[in-house]
């Protein structure tokens, strides 16, 4: 009997903001999709996954926060 897959696909959005140019003060809009276990305990108090990842639009490692569940 096959076990049920407990992984959720989530969209994680960058919290970085542009520091110069015409988009100054706006978020970069860069996101990544990843899988997380439904019973994962590596979350903040709000129940959303937070990870430090690289955002190529600002060329830095920044905080990515779970935005929405895709599946």
Query: What is the average pLDDT value for the chain, to the nearest integer?
Result: 84
Give pLDDT tens digits for 44-56.
666 788 899 999 9
Domain interval for residue 62: 38-71
Burial classification of residue 14, based on how many CB atoms lie within 10 Å of its CB (0-12 exposed, 13-18 middle, 19 or more buried):
buried
**Does a structural domain hold residue 65?**
yes
Residues with Cβ < 8 Å from 69, sequence gap 6 or more?
8, 9, 10, 11
Q: Determine, yes or no, domain membership for 28.
A: no
Higher pLDDT, 38 or 8: 8
Whole-structure pTM over 0.75, yes or no?
yes
Whether 46 maps to a domain, the answer reads yes
User: What pLDDT sits at residue 7?
Assistant: 83
Domain count, the chain: 1
């Amino acid at each position: 009997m096959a076990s049920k897959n407990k992984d959720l696909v989530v969209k994680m959005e960058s919290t970085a903001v542009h520091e110069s140019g015409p988009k100054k003060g706006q978020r970069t809009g860069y996101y990544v999709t990843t899988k997380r276990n439904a019973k994962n305990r590596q979350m903040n108090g709000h129940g959303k996954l937070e990870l430090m990842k690289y955002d190529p639009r600002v060329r830095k490692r920044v905080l990515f926060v779970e935005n929405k569940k895709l599946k």
